[in-house]
Structure 1
Amino acid sequence: MPGQMKSVVVAEPKGRWELKDRDVPEVGPNDVLVRVHACGICGTDLWISDGVLTFRDFPIVPGHEAAGEVVAVGEGVTKRKVGDRVGVIMAQKFCGVCDFCREEHPNSFVSAANCANPTLTGVTVDGGHAEYVAVDAGGTVIIPDAVSYESAAPILCAGYTVWAGLRRAEPKPGARVAVSGIGGLGHLAIQFAKAAGFHVTALTHSPDKVETARQLGADEVVADGAALKAAGGADVLLHTNSSHGAVADAMNGLKPWGKVVLMGIGTDELNLPALALTSNSYQVIGSAHNTIEHLVEALDIVASGAVTPVIETFPLERAEEAHARASSGDVRFKAVITY
């Protein structure tokens, strides 16, 4: 499909998200061309565009939460067809020949981090903040008809992360789940945990988020680990914010044999209480995108109406405004750009 398209381009670290005219990407073998309708802004996008995380040279096209429609398929594609509503996941494909890939691991964030030459949407190759993106067909997932493109976008990373983290923790029926941090990840974690039938306690230091957390489904809202313990404690702590310093405090409310699932990325050091960790047999689990099965489950839960992403939408002409507001934390709770 020849022609031009509008695309967000970041020319340099900490640069503006500028709208540029670029060629529509070509569709190679095993690829699909997706007409993007919506793409969320993830915290990782901000770190990459600021140069905090570096995977390729600038200029870059960010974005790994793209949702849209397949408009062309490349040679060899059988699992997707023109007209399919799809989400584009970050981990498109892996090299298949390095030592890690030869162990035949499933598509996950672990594979993305350990493959010698992965293709990662918006990370190692151009991303979804554009009118069109060409990706490997295996790097897409079908979006249920009941889910809008705008609502699907945040689930492709943020929702995927928290649901996969909850599943990884394997809480028992009747477990108490605590969510630390009420933001892009946390507001979804509360809803997913509640939808799964668990007692949910939200931890936040922001008074203005207390009522919001309750509206999202939290049974209780507390400010710290001591208050969490007084409220009955937690079997699972889903840590979703970017401050590792909050983990040790929140663990004061963790019950024996409890599990801490780290999902937020932070630059500060992670210091854990060794005596409490050992004497209570705590488990600390790192988790992001696990198998694609978990993403499919998350989208189905959204389609059921049990989880609703809280988003602010911006037309493509306001991409820099969306970027600036997301960077400042002035978005409740996910910024989504429409294309």
Structure 2
Amino acid sequence: MKAAIVPALNSPWEIREVPTPEPSANQVLIKIGASGLCYTDVHITKGAIPTQFPRTLGHEPVGEIVEVGVGVTSRKVGDRVGVPWVQSGCRRCEWCLRGKKMFCQQQIGTGVQTQGSHAEYMLAYADSTMLLPDSISYEQAAPVFCAGYTVWSGLRFADPKPHEKVAILGIGGLGHLAVQYSKAAGFETIAITHSKNKEKLVRDLGADEVVADAEALQKMGGADVILVTGNSYKSASAALKGLRSDGRMVLMGISEEPLEVTGDIITNRSRIIGSMQNGDEYLYEALDYVAKGKVKVISETYSLNDISRVYDRVANGEVRFRAVITDM
């Protein structure tokens, strides 16, 4: 089969012919229909997330099961599925026993501890796969398995109440989805962006208001929840001024910058929440919104043969808004 290979740390990606894998017990073989290329792939390539090379990356996979291993009963050949970031844990530690395998120190991550989805075929543990709604396309489904899942999990974890306001900081690959999820869930939604050329777009996506900064957000009464969808903690620190009392800021992007807070966080009883992908029910819900047409992924599609160029575009922030490999 054809696969994208990262030969070594911080090295250019290559297309190679490699053997098609065979499923072991409790695994399935998936013919990839679409694979999202996420900025996390850049982090992994550059060493911010440790793995062993050579490696095929890719953790936004969707496709059709073409073979099942011994012991698989819940999935069958022909099922349309996707695979999230965390496939499995040790099943013995406190976190696994509490149903929170995302905290397991021995977790198996797609494209990190396994070969990922930037290839014609990929193995996955059967019980980690999520069945896709019939009405969702592969192109729309793939980015949900990281980007959509991440922002919807963050919003749900913040637990906004009826009549509360939700603000989205950064309108990019995650942010354009966060605006739509917030509006689809019925919340008054405010986009925070300095880009004037994005104002019409974010209003079309469902934003009730668009502001340039925290000061403008504060003048209009502030937000109860701020979803930080970008990688700048400097911007997140500034946005704290826009939180109402008892407000929650949710961080879902990785940054090497320090997060600076003032004493206002005490007097306002504000909370800063770190969030990733917080449970299977949130993935189910995130897919359902897309399948029902309430959320639409804006993406650029490419061939696997072009993946080196696509990687450069993602790394340089040139993609609008998600990059998806659909031609394997």
TM-score range relative to shorter protein: over 0.9
Q: Segments of 4+ in structure 1 off by > 6 A?
A: none
Deviation at residue 267 of structure 1 after TM alignment: 1.2
- Any unmatched runs of 5+ in structure 2? none
Q: Which residue of 1 aligns with 2:298?
A: 310
Amino acid at match of 1:201: I
Task: Evaluate the alpha carbon distance shift between residue 266 and residue 76 of structure 1 in structure 2; reply closer, same or farther with a 3 A threshold.
Answer: same
Mean alpha-carbon deviation: is it higher for 89-98 or for 319-328?
A: 89-98
Corresponding position: 1:261 with 2:250: yes
Q: What's the secondary structure of 2:81's corresponding residue? A: strand
Q: Which residue of 2 aligns with 1:47?
A: 43
Measure the CA separation in 2 of the matches of 1:168 and 1:72. Answer: 36
Deviation at residue 231 of structure 1 after TM alignment: 2.3
Measure the CA separation in 1 of the matches of 2:127 and 2:198. Answer: 38
Deviation at residue 42 of structure 1 after TM alignment: 1.4
**Correspondent of 1:24 among 20, 28, 32:** 20
Measure the CA separation in 1 of the matches of 2:99 and 2:176. Answer: 28
Aligned residues: 327
Measure the CA separation in 2 of the matches of 1:172 and 1:99. Answer: 31
Corresponding position: 1:37 with 2:33: yes
Does structure 2 conserve the Cα–Cα contact (< 8 Å) formed by 1:187 and 1:216? yes
- Any unmatched runs of 5+ in structure 1? none
Corresponding position: 1:175 with 2:164: yes
Deviation at residue 230 of structure 1 after TM alignment: 1.4
Q: What's the secondary structure of 1:23's corresponding residue? A: coil
Mean alpha-carbon deviation: is it higher for 11-20 or for 133-142?
A: 11-20
Corresponding position: 1:190 with 2:179: yes
**Correspondent of 1:270 among 259, 267, 284:** 259
How is 1:189-228 mapped onto 2 (pairs within 5 angstroms)?
189-228=178-217
Measure the CA separation in 1 of the matches of 2:212 and 2:9. Answer: 35
Amino acid at match of 1:157: C
Q: Which residue of 2 aligns with 1:301?
A: 289
Does structure 2 conserve the Cα–Cα contact (< 8 Å) formed by 1:9 and 1:61? yes
Measure the CA separation in 1 of the matches of 2:38 and 2:173. Answer: 8
Corresponding position: 1:87 with 2:82: yes
Amino acid at match of 1:320: S
**Correspondent of 2:6 among 7, 10, 15:** 10
Q: Which residue of 1 aligns with 2:99?
A: 106
How is 1:134-149 mapped onto 2 (pairs within 5 angstroms)?
134-149=123-138
Does structure 2 conserve the Cα–Cα contact (< 8 Å) formed by 1:90 and 1:139? no
Aligned-residue CA RMSD (Å): 1.2
Deviation at residue 322 of structure 1 after TM alignment: 1.0
Q: Which residue of 2 aligns with 1:70?
A: 65
Deviation at residue 266 of structure 1 after TM alignment: 0.9
Amino acid at match of 2:60: E
Q: What's the secondary structure of 2:18's corresponding residue? A: strand
Amino acid at match of 1:49: T
Q: What's the secondary structure of 1:92's corresponding residue? A: strand
Deviation at residue 71 of structure 1 after TM alignment: 0.5
Measure the CA separation in 2 of the matches of 1:216 and 1:100. Answer: 37
Q: What's the secondary structure of 1:155's corresponding residue? A: helix
Deviation at residue 40 of structure 1 after TM alignment: 0.4
Measure the CA separation in 2 of the matches of 1:18 and 1:208. Answer: 36
Q: What's the secondary structure of 1:128's corresponding residue? A: coil
Measure the CA separation in 1 of the matches of 2:129 and 2:155. Answer: 22
Does structure 2 conserve the Cα–Cα contact (< 8 Å) formed by 1:163 and 1:298? yes
Q: Identity over the aligned pairs, expressed in percent?
A: 47
The TM-score normalised by the length of structure 2 is 0.97
Measure the CA separation in 1 of the matches of 2:112 and 2:93. Answer: 19
Q: What's the secondary structure of 1:213's corresponding residue? A: helix
Task: Evaluate the alpha carbon distance shift between residue 76 and residue 286 of structure 1 in structure 2; reply closer, same or farther with a 3 A threshold.
Answer: same
Deviation at residue 98 of structure 1 after TM alignment: 3.8
Amino acid at match of 2:71: G
Deviation at residue 100 of structure 1 after TM alignment: 4.0
Q: What's the secondary structure of 2:245's corresponding residue? A: strand
Measure the CA separation in 1 of the matches of 2:261 and 2:76. Answer: 49
Amino acid at match of 1:14: N
Q: What's the secondary structure of 2:4's corresponding residue? A: strand
Measure the CA separation in 2 of the matches of 1:175 and 1:66. Answer: 34
The TM-score normalised by the length of structure 1 is 0.94
Amino acid at match of 2:90: C
